[in-house]
A and B are shown apart, each in its own frame.
Chain A
Amino acid sequence: MPADGLEPASDAALVRAARLGDDAAFGELVDRYGPGMLRHARRLVGGSEADASEVVQEAFISAWKGLDGFRGDSSLRTWLFRLVHRRAVDLIRHRRPTPIDDYLLSHVVRVADDNPLQDVMDSELLEALQEALDELPWNQRAAWLLREVEGLGYDEIAHAMGTTVGSVRGHLHRGRRQLAERMARWR
């Protein structure tokens, strides 16, 4: 996959092949959605690269083993975010909180060559965002990240978090308000 090396295969085609044990097809899905999942996981678990990596790896292992259970009720991307959410919840429940290393946050953003000043500002802004996110209740943090950073719809967020659209609206409303207050000093 892809068969002719030209046109990228659809999610459905890759899932079909992966269900038959084609690990190369599954690898394409990993590279298609993994970077976004890793970015999301990192923000969700407090900025730790190691924790985010573990969450994403476990999410993909769950996906590989559970592909037969993916019925297409949601998009594949939403289903994968749901697995990230579950694995992150597992990790937070079973592990004591660990302090956030400032260094880990400082190099999360890939540095662009043409505007170093903007990069520094972005990096500091993201550090402040992470601190503000860490103070949010879990569901507010997750809902806000899925909506604002990953661009999921309300129903997709509800599916990913295993909750209702009404709850998502509530989490987002409260999360946005708290984050706006926290970030106001950056005006």
Chain B
Amino acid sequence: MALSPTDPLERAVVAAQAEAPDDWDSVSQAVKRRIRATVAPSRPIVVVAADGSTDQDAHGSRTYVASRVVRAALRDALRTRPDLTAERIDLTIDDERLTRVEVDLVCAYGTVMPAASDVARATVASVVADLLGPGTQPQVDVTVTDVVVGDPRLA
């Protein structure tokens, strides 16, 4: 049976360890609000049609997607399988066009690396085509940087 400490400092320590700040919820909400309000650096990427044109109409109108949006979509798309997840996603933008995507992957132990890289490349190509048009076909370089036991989305 555990004995209660008799030393006042020890008792104070036990009481302090048991403290649960009753205003934590409001602090937590404030932190998350501020995090969401923190705008990550972003650049516009132009949408390119299958024929290579960036013109959306006869007036030469263009459509842009923020690189922040593209990166978030890639992140989410690369997190749908239990055998791989992204650790780093870098976009290279030249003259407003997405020309290169570099992805660092973390894979589950036992994953066949070339196959995982192919999956990642295909996923990136699909997301990029959806967001930036079929004419956007960047080079996609995949590096497996780590292997973990279990689902890399959790481990």
Contacts and interface: CB of A to CB of B under 8 A. Distances in A.
Interface of A: 1-3, 7-10, 12-13, 16-17, 19-23, 26-27, 30-31, 34-35, 38-39, 42-43, 49, 52-53, 56-57, 60-61, 64-65, 107-110, 122, 125-126, 128-129, 148-149, 151, 176, 179-180, 183-187
Contact of A43 (B16, B31, B34, B75): B16
Interface of B: 6-9, 11-13, 15-24, 26-28, 30-32, 34-36, 38, 40, 68, 71-72, 75, 79, 82, 85-89, 106, 148, 151-155
B39 to A, nearest CB: 11
B19 A39 contact: yes
29 contacts: A1-B154, A10-B154, A12-B155, A16-B87, A17-B79, A17-B153, A20-B86, A23-B36, A34-B24, A34-B28, A35-B21, A49-B23, A52-B21, A57-B30, A64-B35, A108-B22, A109-B15, A109-B18, A109-B19, A110-B20, A122-B15, A126-B12, A128-B12, A149-B13, A183-B8, A183-B9, A186-B8, A186-B12, A187-B6
A147 B17 CA distance: 11
Nearest to A50: B23
Contacts of B72: 20-22
Contacts of A13: 85, 152-155
What 3 pairs across the A-B complex have the smallest Cβ distances? A186-B8, A122-B15, A129-B12
Q: Which of B20, B21, B71, B88 has the most CB of A within 10 A?
A: B21
Contacts, number: 144
Contact of A184 (B8, B13, B23, B27): B8
Contacts of A39: 16, 19-21
B23 A53 contact: yes
Interface centre among B13, B19, B68, B82 (most CB of A within 10 A): B19
B16 to A, nearest CB: 5
B35 A27 contact: yes
Given A16-B85, A56-B31, A65-B38, 12 more contacts: A2-B154, A3-B154, A13-B152, A17-B153, A20-B75, A21-B71, A22-B72, A57-B34, A64-B35, A126-B16, A129-B16, A180-B9
A3 B152 CA distance: 10
A53 B32 contact: no
B123 to A, nearest CB: 14
A148 B82 contact: no
Given A13-B153, A16-B87, A183 B71 contact: no
Contacts of B15: 109, 122, 125-126, 129
A39 B19 CA distance: 7
A52 B75 CA distance: 34
Contacts of A9: 153-154
B38 A30 contact: no
A110 to B, nearest CB: 5
Nearest to A185: B8
A187 B6 CA distance: 8
Given A34-B24, A65-B38, A1 B153 contact: yes
Contacts of B21: 35, 38-39, 42, 52, 108
Contacts of B9: 129, 176, 179-180, 183
